[in-house]
Structure 1
Amino acid sequence: MAEEGSVYELEGFEKQLQSLLTRYSSDELRGNSKLFCSDFCKLVEEYASRGQVPLPQLRILEISLCYFARACTFFPSNCDHVLHTLSSLALSLFELLLFFDQKDFHQEPLKQFTLTFQECHQLALGRLQNVHLLQVERLVRGGGPWAVPALQAILSESNLPQSEVDGCISSEMPVFFELRVHYLLSCERVSEAMALAKCCARNPTAGQHLFFLQVYLTWLFKTSQHDRLHKEVAELNGKDAIHIICSLECEEKDELLLALSRAFLSQQLRKGDMYYLCDLVFIWSKLHSRLNTSKNALLGESRQLMLSATNVNSIFPFIRAILKVLGEDGIQFCVELCANALGSCLPCDVITKSLIYKTIAGLLPDDLEVCRACALLVFFLERTVEAYKMVYLLYMHPDQEYHVEHSPIRNHVRFETLQVLKKDLYFDPEFWNLIALRTNCLKLMSEKVVSGALEEIMEDKWILSYCTKEVASQLSTPVCQKGSKDTAARKRNHKEDRHHKADTDTASKRLKLPSLRQRH
């Protein structure tokens, strides 16, 4: 009964296809290729979705190919809609052929399918020179997707010369190997899938498609090959790292995503690469939030990561992330980051150093002694009228007694931070009066700046427009301003995006058939 129903359904499908062809005359086919292809794909997907095993679906696609070959005689060879539909058919056919071994192609019904496919290709479809169909035709003629000897050697991890491995991988478009890896994983043939993914990831052509590296890295983590994992991500840039994590989000658990982001971050920090570092730190912190990581664990991991940092600018993404996740509880860690950066031997330009001082003041706006030191240091670097005004206003404010119980940082952290700040002071105004401070600051400013703004500097009215609370907020500069540096870095590294030249979206290419992988 099931067989009779299947035959009846196939007959109904052929009638529908014939009706579709009849509806469009030869002239209409030439002028309405887009509409015809749309109706054709909807019809094929409707009938193919009723199949629950590969063979009935393959029969549906075989019939579809025959009718499309008849319609193709009226289409121009360079019609985009026709070529796209043909690619969809070819990739869908290939995915179904993965379920069959080489010996199956010499037996029915695959033997009949092979004859039909080759006939359609020779009589009508070959002239369109569709790259996907040409690849499937070559594989069908050679005994199927698994019949290539070099591919069998790769899957069994035999000792094959690298030239033969590269020749095999380069002989097909990456999308065909991607579908093979998907199939092997669905069948739980993990070792074969990883062997193929590893070879594809290392191939100059196929390796541009991050899917293969994504699969391989996931497997390395799941098999606890952490040293190998870190070695594999060493040359990966920030944009590719983010692409991999986001691609895995719907497939893997947050623990795995966090481990990968941690490995990517460690490598980026070690290389001193700011390219997409802000985005990578943001993803890393969001994963910690989703996993409800404790404050101590988050700060401990942050400290461990920052130990490998070779670029002073890397503190800013971490400061933003920590404050976002922990709020006031993260202030002490952020102050320590700034102090450590100032005390390190890492290169630090004037702009970055000034921003660190402003960041410390912004983190501790109620600590007058810290804010004064930061303002004076910013003035030493910038020598501007605005920087001078900030110093003057802070030193006009009455001295305050420091109360450790009201501070967001511990006493020893504050002491060490002040020591780091004071070592860079040109002079220490602790025992000076305001006039002496003004005199010494004006000496450091260029004559051109002083003469051009002398009236403004000496005028006391501007003081009334400020208040003590505003002083600290004006001194502090949001660390997100470092984003401008990240943007510039992205532009400089745009040419490095070797993995994003032409990623093939197989989901959009293939016809929307039900997933056979889950039922195999």
Structure 2
Amino acid sequence: MAEEGRVYELEGLEEQLHTLLSRYSGDELGADGGPFCSDFCKLVEEFASRWQVPLPQLRILEIALCYFARASIFCTSNCDHVLHTLSSLALSVFELLLFFDQKDFHQEPLKHFAVTFQECYVALAKHENVHLLQVERLVRGGGPWANPALQAILSEFSLPQNEVDGCIGSELPVFFELRVRYLLSCKRTSEAVALAQCCARHPTAGQHSFFLQVYLTWLYKTSQHDRLVKEVADLSGKDAVHLICSLECEEKDELLLGLSTAFLLQQLRRGDMYYLCELVFVWTKLHSRLKTSKQALLKESHQLMLSATNVNSLFPFIRAILQEVGEDGVQFCVELCANALDSCLPCDVLTKSLIYKTIAGLLPNDLEVCRACALLVFFLERTVESYKVVYLLYMHPDQEYHVEHSPIGNHVRFETLQILKKDLYFDPEFWNLIALRTNCLKLMSEKVVSAALEEIMDDKWISNYFAKEPTLRSRASACQRGSKNALQGKKRHSKEDTDTTGKRLKVGSGKTGLNVDYAVKKKGSRALKEASSGPLRRSLWQLDRIQESGEHRRTTRLSEKNPPKRRIRRPKWLLEDSGTLEENNIPLRMKNMKSINHLS
């Protein structure tokens, strides 16, 4: 019954192919073979899908090839539709021939098929299709498994490298890919891996990533991790990302994560930043799919970063950790930055500046940290903009540090400050703003100072600076609430709220693309009130309102015991910062600090 059904199917196929061929005239086929090729492929696929065994399908392809050879007489030799259809037919025939041994080609029905195929090839030779030519050679040579060198490779016999390369280079990579896929489907894993390994190391076939995927997957599944790491040593980040994405639909996430970890480890050891951001992104997303705990993710990130030889590699990890872990990852990111600054790894000026700004962006409500970072950035850049940031930060009275509201532990903060302060050219802790200005200007070049001296010495730039950019939101409002510890004065003439002020930095040099807020939050609604009993902790300066002769006197912590012998002009911004203007009775509100210059 099965044989009768097959004969009936074949007769039906021949009738429909004959009808299809008679529907198109020679002129139509010569002008555009697209419609005929499309209808032809649909018809062949429909009949071939009715069978799940190779021999009937091979017979269907044999008949289809004969009818297509008749139609191709009217088609031009360079017709793309014809070439595409011929490639599909040739590769389909090759896939079916993989099911047969060399001895089967000397027996029926393959013996008859070989004769028919040769006849069709003669009629189709004018199209010069490389896939059809390759299959014709294999059919004439006894099938896809007849090559002695190929048999030696599958048996893992030792062969001279030139013979291996000659065998792999004698065919297009797609034919070896179909062989490997067939061997894997038949559970002949050792043969498939042996062939895939040879192809992966071939200069031409090795450009086809499929072979490396098979080989590396086998290494991981057989727990040969040391060998796996060695094999991916020279793989670029782009190839690694492409390989993992290609395996996404075929393998489990656990295997993909293992491969991405091996790729990431080697790239960190090389100090290669090429496609590192994308590789870290893929790595973290795989952890997210597998629902890895935050602690485990941070621990593995720490282990990977121990192998890093390029300081810039911390930026992709910071971005990924903040995206996946959120606030719980801030302390880890701060530690990464501190360790990078304290390490012996090469670090250029731009990268070091980015690290300082990143730390300030991670801790926007810690005024002491942000002041240190701003000074360090100024020491490196020596620009007017970086000077203004320092000056504005030191304008604000000191704020109490509340460890319970901080995203990092007290020990991490202390160690980070120690690392930051060791690079300071000077520590302005007990200086007034005039001394800070003087020492900063000394570090700037004469050209920069001369060009901007009038602007710097004119206090109007401060009010203009506040009005240029809207206030930025704080990432940690709890820290801001903790800083609203205002001092109550004996006589309150006015009460003014001060808006949050900040700096924003886009940290990115093309390598990292990291965006962080370089923000320092001012006191809350009552943070800048008139001074009263007891100075703020570590305050650089304060205002004491003295009701003598209607005059105001500015004092610093150092000048309280030794008042100045000459009067100092009262700048407008200084009076504004006192919280009240008694003489003018003008309500004040400091707004909108200017954004720090974007680095890209």
Same fold (TM over 0.5): yes
Contact 2:316 2:512 in 1 (8 A): no
Aligned partner of 2:493 in structure 1 is: none
Q: Counterparts of 1:144 and 1:426 in 2: how far apart (Å)?
A: 78
CA deviation profile, 1:339-377 (whole Å, cap 9, x unmatched): 111111111111111111100000000100000000011
What amino acid is aligned across from residue 95 of structure 1 in structure 2?
Answer: E
SS of 1:35's partner is helix
What amino acid is aligned across from residue 39 of structure 1 in structure 2?
Answer: D
CA deviation profile, 1:272-310 (whole Å, cap 9, x unmatched): 000000000000000111111112211111111011101
Q: Counterparts of 1:478 and 1:260 in 2: how far apart (Å)?
A: 32
Q: Counterparts of 2:126 and 2:370 in 1: how far apart (Å)?
A: 76
Tell me how far 1:448 sits from its aligned partner: 2.2
Structure having greater relative contact order (Cα 8 Å, sep ≥ 6): 1
Sort the Cα spacing of 1:270 and 1:117 in 2 relative to 1 into closer, same or farther, 3 A: same
Q: Counterparts of 1:126 and 1:31 in 2: how far apart (Å)?
A: 20
Tell me how far 1:71 sits from its aligned partner: 1.1
What amino acid is aligned across from residue 363 of structure 1 in structure 2?
Answer: L
Contact 1:355 1:477 in 2 (8 A): no
Q: Which runs of 5+ in 2 are unaligned?
A: 475-500, 514-600
User: Are residue 359 (structure 1) and residue 358 (structure 2) matched?
Assistant: yes
CA deviation profile, 1:34-62 (whole Å, cap 9, x unmatched): 12111111111111111111111111111
Aligned partner of 2:58 in structure 1 is: 58
SS of 2:404's partner is helix
What amino acid is aligned across from residue 44 of structure 2 in structure 1?
Answer: V
SS of 1:293's partner is coil
Q: Trace 1:239-388 onto structure 2 (pairs within 5 A).
A: 239-388=238-387
Contact 2:44 2:64 in 1 (8 A): yes
User: Are residue 485 (structure 1) and residue 511 (structure 2) matched?
Assistant: yes
Quick check: 408-417 or 279-288, which moved more? 408-417
What amino acid is aligned across from residue 7 of structure 2 in structure 1?
Answer: V
Contact 1:157 1:195 in 2 (8 A): yes
Q: Counterparts of 1:474 and 1:305 in 2: how far apart (Å)?
A: 34
Aligned partner of 2:184 in structure 1 is: 185
SS of 1:450's partner is helix
Aligned partner of 1:114 in structure 2 is: 114
Identity in percent: 81
What amino acid is aligned across from residue 230 of structure 2 in structure 1?
Answer: K
Q: Trace 1:352-501 onto structure 2 (pairs within 5 A).
A: 352-464=351-463, 465-466=465-466, 470=472, 475=503, 477-479=505-507, 481-482=508-509, 484-485=510-511
Tell me how far 1:475 sits from its aligned partner: 4.3
Q: Counterparts of 2:270 and 2:170 in 1: how far apart (Å)?
A: 35
Alignment: residue pair count? 484
Aligned partner of 2:549 in structure 1 is: none
What amino acid is aligned across from residue 298 of structure 2 in structure 1?
Answer: L
Looking at CA atoms only, which structure, 1 or 2, has the larger radius of gyration?
2
Q: Counterparts of 2:201 and 2:366 in 1: how far apart (Å)?
A: 55
Aligned partner of 2:232 in structure 1 is: 233
Sort the Cα spacing of 1:190 and 1:377 in 2 relative to 1 into closer, same or farther, 3 A: same
Sort the Cα spacing of 1:474 and 1:351 in 2 relative to 1 into closer, same or farther, 3 A: farther
Q: Counterparts of 1:44 and 1:478 in 2: how far apart (Å)?
A: 58
Tell me how far 1:461 sits from its aligned partner: 3.5
What amino acid is aligned across from residue 114 of structure 2 in structure 1?
Answer: T
Tell me how far 1:129 sits from its aligned partner: 1.4
What amino acid is aligned across from residue 131 of structure 2 in structure 1?
Answer: H
CA deviation profile, 1:221-279 (whole Å, cap 9, x unmatched): 00011111001000000010001100111111111110100000000000000000000
Tell me how far 1:206 sits from its aligned partner: 0.5
Tell me how far 1:8 sits from its aligned partner: 1.3
Q: Counterparts of 2:319 and 2:191 in 1: how far apart (Å)?
A: 43
What amino acid is aligned across from residue 243 of structure 2 in structure 1?
Answer: I
Q: Counterparts of 2:438 and 2:72 in 1: how far apart (Å)?
A: 88
Q: Counterparts of 1:353 and 1:406 in 2: how far apart (Å)?
A: 28
Q: Counterparts of 1:166 and 1:399 in 2: how far apart (Å)?
A: 73
CA deviation profile, 1:436-479 (whole Å, cap 9, x unmatched): 00111112122222232233323333434539975998545344
TM-score after normalising by structure 2:
0.79
Q: Counterparts of 2:502 and 2:403 in 1: how far apart (Å)?
A: 24
Q: Trace 1:54-203 onto structure 2 (pairs within 5 A).
A: 54-122=54-122, 124-203=123-202
Q: Counterparts of 1:247 and 1:295 in 2: how far apart (Å)?
A: 27
Aligned partner of 2:216 in structure 1 is: 217
Q: Counterparts of 2:502 and 2:76 in 1: how far apart (Å)?
A: 67
CA deviation profile, 1:113-159 (whole Å, cap 9, x unmatched): 1110011112x112221110110000011111111111111001011
Which of the two has greater helix per residue?
A: 1
